[in-house]
């Protein structure tokens, strides 16, 4: 299996980091404003949402690389 390029790794870290951090900050603000959830199961739901918000941007990496390659091709050709 080939190693991912440094650019792909950086893009993945950037997208996942921004998405996960934004979600965590918004969840924290929500809990501080409205208070803790009344049902303890909501903590698990919030954890699942945070995990999804952190990992799902990985699906966007190939699409963003494709667009970037198109821009490079337009600039060089």
How many angstroms separate the CA atoms of 11 and 1, rounded? 20
3-state helix, strand, coil in the chain (%, to 5): 85, 0, 15
pLDDT per residue as tens digits for the range 4-62: 688 889 999 999 999 999 999 999 999 999 999 999 999 999 999 999 999 999 999 99
Handedness of CA 62, 65, 69, 71 (dihedral sign): positive
How many angstroms separate the CA atoms of 50 and 69, rounded? 30
Full-model pTM? 0.81
How many angstroms separate the CA atoms of 16 and 54, rounded? 5
* pLDDT of the residue at 1: 42
């Amino acid at each position: 299996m080939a190693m991912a390029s440094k650019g792909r790794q950086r893009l993945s870290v950037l997208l996942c980091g921004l998405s996960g951090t934004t979600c965590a900050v918004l969840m924290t603000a929500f809990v501080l404003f409205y208070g803790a959830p009344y049902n303890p199961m909501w903590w698990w739901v919030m954890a699942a949402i945070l995990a999804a918000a952190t990992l799902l941007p990985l699906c966007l990496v190939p699409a963003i690389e494709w667009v970037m390659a198109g821009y490079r091709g337009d600039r060089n050709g």
